Amino acid sequence: MIRAFTTHKIRRTEELSSCLWDFRTLSASGDAPSGPVPSPIKAAVPGCWEAYPETANYRGRAVYSRKFVTDTEANIRLVFKGVSHTAEIMVDGQRVCGHYNAYTPFDAVLPCLKPGEHTLDVIADNSFSSASALHVPNDYQSYGGISRGVMLELLEDVYICRIHFTPVCKSVQTNQWSGKVQVCLVNLSEKPFEGDIELHIEGQPHKILPVEIGPKETSVLSCDDLPCRNVCPWSPETPVLYYLNAVLRDKASMREVDDLTERIGFREVRIEGRDILLNGKKLLIKGFCRHEDHPQFGCAIPFSAMQYDLTLIKDLGGNSVRTSHYPNDELFLDLCDEQGILVWEENHARGLSDEQMSNPNFEKQCEDCIREMVDAHYNHPSIYIWGILNECASHTELGRMCYKSQYELIRSMDRSRPVSSASCQFKTDICLDLPDVVSYNIYPKWYNDTPAAQYLAELYDWVQSSTDGRGKPFLITETGAGAVYGYRTPSRVKWSEEYQAQALEEQIRAVLAHKGCSGIYIWQFCDTRVCDDWFDKRPKTMNNKGIVDEYRRPKLAYEKVKELFRKLPQERTDV
């Protein structure tokens, strides 16, 4: 299952995942069999190789292979939703593309592939080296494998490669909306193409845009004022979604040659003073940071397990998820759209120092990740904010240059959402003038023993008095404490479930009572596996700050968080 809805009715598509592929491990370069699985075994795609006993701790290269059959000569597009973390794609022994980063989608278009049986090899590499600036030994696991879905598509010579829809709120009071639509088309052939594209949102009049596109060209068509009457706005309480359908027609034959359906929602995110407004209402975030992590599936979380996580988050009284620390599987975002869960989605980076940010690959890898994230996830109404560079060097001049250019890149692609970054530079951040929302990760009662309310007040007052972050909305993007599941003790020491529940109560009360805060994200939803190098700081080689453990079994803190989150109002009262 790739998405929660059908994206094409005209374009022929076939899912290549949701089945078993041949899998074997490879030497550090080339095709030589090596490592724990030198001869092929069957492995589930999507999946992580850590799910198999032989490769539970394998870091290196491996190849997944399968056949596919085409019945006519056709343009073929292979779409990979995520390969962890570096991919080389081969068709019939020829390299067709490569990609870095586990958490963003990519594709390869093969024009005029001959009919018959073809071999698809996906070489995945999860090793750490200076070539990889973002996947580094860290406080989460960089798994290996084809961790998200794979599609095969048959393309006509001209195809729709993406649609971006921006809802425009003309009046919140009278609920008047229109839409801006951008459609990107690609002509693979040597011939010019003429035709039209019909855009249609359910229940709305159709709109027809003429199309003229030269040989081998990519072209973006815009419609700036698509009328959208009597729509029901999207909100956490009423997550109403609409289908936006585009059909491409050839002028000469009047034949429908391609289509794409996207799912959209009508909501406006706006900053007003210290508030984040959703359709004019002040947001009060009660959220959870969530890694894509599961002891049985690694980062390749199956659909029903994703939904189980969201069920628990709702049960806990949560209204938001922070996709720490990378873009998430689109299927998860689809589920958030459907269930009114607000999403903070961020590019991939965690805790990188000045030195790590000086890696010559750093900027490009971050920017590729941003481009692929915003391009692919632009239409999700649940995403209300884009984040960048969690806890990186926002206290240094080099760091500041990176923050500045990455914010600029996001804003050049999407002006409809605010941007922010989760900082840990307590009173030393020099980037707070740059984002729309000031966000901090704080761990009073865990990494320091200052009372939570005092710690928060000092930080907030410093932001207001000494930085250009003053007057902006302020979010706590992480707070929490560790507890080893099942460890209960009358001494209530750190790592006990009792201590975690008590620390979280103090942290949550402090943040939600603070008039300047637009909300809180708890670190973290579930316990997660960390890289081996982190074993000495992390019992069980896990980050144990989950409210549930890795199998989603609730710790003592679960009921406390639920009680506090449910008791508090959904909406922020006046500052």
Helix/strand/coil for 284:
coil
Q: Toward ligand ADA, which CB reaches closer, 384 or 521?
A: 521
Q: Are 158 and 187 in contact (CB under 8 A)?
A: yes
Indicate the pairing of strand 474-478 with strand 437-441.
parallel
Give the x-and-dash track for 422-441 against ligand ADA (CB under 6 A): --x----------------x
- The distance of closest approach from Cβ of residue 144 to ligand ADA in the complex, given in angstroms and rounded to an integer, is 20
Helix (H) or strand (E) holding 290: none
Q: Which of residues 314-343 bind ligand ADA (CB under 6 A)?
A: none
CB of 442 to ligand ADA, least distance (A): 9
Shortest Å distance, C-beta 380 to ligand ADA: 23
353 HSE (CA, 13 A, CB side): 5
- Residue 414 or 478: the one with the smaller Cβ distance to ligand ADA is 478
Return the H-helix or E-strand segment holding 320: strand 320-322
User: Of 55 and 441, which CB lies nearer to ligand ADA in the complex structure?
Assistant: 441
Choose which of 17, 319, 347, 543 interacts with ligand ADA (CB under 6 A).
Answer: 543
E strands along 388-494, which residues? 419-423, 437-441, 474-478
Which residue in 503, 523, 514, 427 sits closest to 474, CA to CA?
A: 514
Q: Taking CB under 6 A as the rule, which mask of x and - marks residues 89-128 in contact with ligand ADA? A: ----------------------------------------
Nearest approach in angstroms of CB 404 to ligand ADA is 21
Torsion of the alpha carbons at 308, 313, 317 and 320, rounded to the nearest 10: -130
Q: Which CB, 151 or 424, lies closer to ligand ADA?
A: 424
Under rule CB under 6 A, residue 293 binds ligand ADA:
no
Q: Does 350 bind ligand ADA (CB under 6 A)?
A: yes
Give the single-character DSSP code of 328: P
Q: Which two tokens stand for residue 469?
A: 């972050």
Mask 353-392, x = binds ligand ADA (CB under 6 A)?
Answer: -------------------------------------xx-
Helix ranges (DSSP H) in 324-396: 330-339, 354-357, 362-377
Least gap, CB of 529 to ligand ADA (angstroms):
13
Taking the complex as a whole, the smallest distance from the CB of residue 522 to ligand ADA amounts, in Å, to 11
- Adjacent-strand bridge partners of 66: 120
Buried b (16+ CB within 10 A) or exposed e, 233-247: bbbbeebebbebbbb
Which residues 6+ apart lie within 8 Å of 10 measured at CB?
247, 256, 257, 258, 259
CB proximity list for 405: less than 8 A, separation 6 or greater? 363, 367
Report the distance separating Cα 286 and Cα 153, nearest Å. 40
The answer to whether residue 545 forms part of the interface with ligand ADA (CB under 6 A) is: yes
Name the closest residue to ligand ADA (Cβ).
Answer: 139
Judged by CB, which is closer to ligand ADA: 59, or 545? 545
Task: Provide the pairing of β-strand 86-91 with 116-125.
Answer: antiparallel
Our CB check for ligand ADA shows the closer of 166 and 421 to be 421
* Strands 285-289 vs 517-522: parallel, antiparallel or unpaired: parallel
CB of 543 to ligand ADA, least distance (A): 5
- Name the minimum Å distance from CB 322 to ligand ADA: 10
Residue 82 near residue 105, CB atoms below 8 Å: yes
Q: Pattern of binders to ligand ADA over 134-153, x per CB under 6 A?
A: -----x--------------
Comparing CB distances to ligand ADA, the nearer of 178 and 425 is 425
CA–chain centroid gap for 25, Å, is 28
What mask, x for binding ligand ADA by CB under 6 A, covers residues 440 to 479? Answer: -x------------------------------------x-
Contact partners, residue 499, CB within 8 Å, separation at least 6: 481, 483, 492, 493
Q: Does 266 bind ligand ADA (CB under 6 A)?
A: no
φ/ψ (deg, to 5) at 407: -60, -45
Cβ(488)–Cβ(498) under 8 Å? yes
Q: Which residue, 238, 232, 226, 237, is CA-closest to 175? A: 232
Q: Residue 267 or 291: which CB sits closer to ligand ADA?
A: 291
Strand duo 281-282 + 275-278: pairing: antiparallel
Q: Does residue 274 touch ligand ADA according to CB under 6 A?
A: no
Minimum CB distance to ligand ADA, residue 482 (Å): 7
Q: Applying CB under 6 A, what is the total number of residues that bind ligand ADA?
A: 11
Considering beta carbons, is residue 86 or 390 the nearer one to ligand ADA? Answer: 390
Least distance (Å) between residue 441 CB and ligand ADA: 4
Q: CB 527 → ligand ADA: shortest distance, Å?
A: 11
If the CB atoms of residues 126 and 421 are measured against ligand ADA, the closer one turns out to be 421
Give the Cα separation of 107 and 78 in Å (integer): 5
User: Binding mask 518-537 vs ligand ADA (x if CB under 6 A, - otherwise)?
Assistant: -----x--------------
Q: Which is nearer to ligand ADA, 327 or 381 (CB)?
A: 327
To ligand ADA, the closest distance from the beta carbon of 103 in angstroms equals 15
Pick between residue 160 and residue 349 the one whose CB is nearest to ligand ADA.
349
Of residues 150 and 424, the one with the C-beta less far from ligand ADA: 424
Output 140 or 558, the one with its CB closest to ligand ADA: 140
**Cα–Cα nearest to 475, from 506, 435, 448, 504:** 435
Smallest gap from Cβ 538 to ligand ADA, in A, equals 8
Residue 170 beta carbon to ligand ADA: minimum distance, rounded to whole angstroms: 39
Positions of E strands within 115-255? 116-125, 145-146, 150-155, 158-171, 176-187, 193-201, 207-213, 218-228, 242-250
Q: To the nearest whole angstrom, how small is the minimum distance from the Cβ of residue 390 to ligand ADA?
A: 5
Q: Which residues bind ligand ADA (CB under 6 A)?
A: 139, 350-351, 390-391, 424, 441, 478, 523, 543, 545
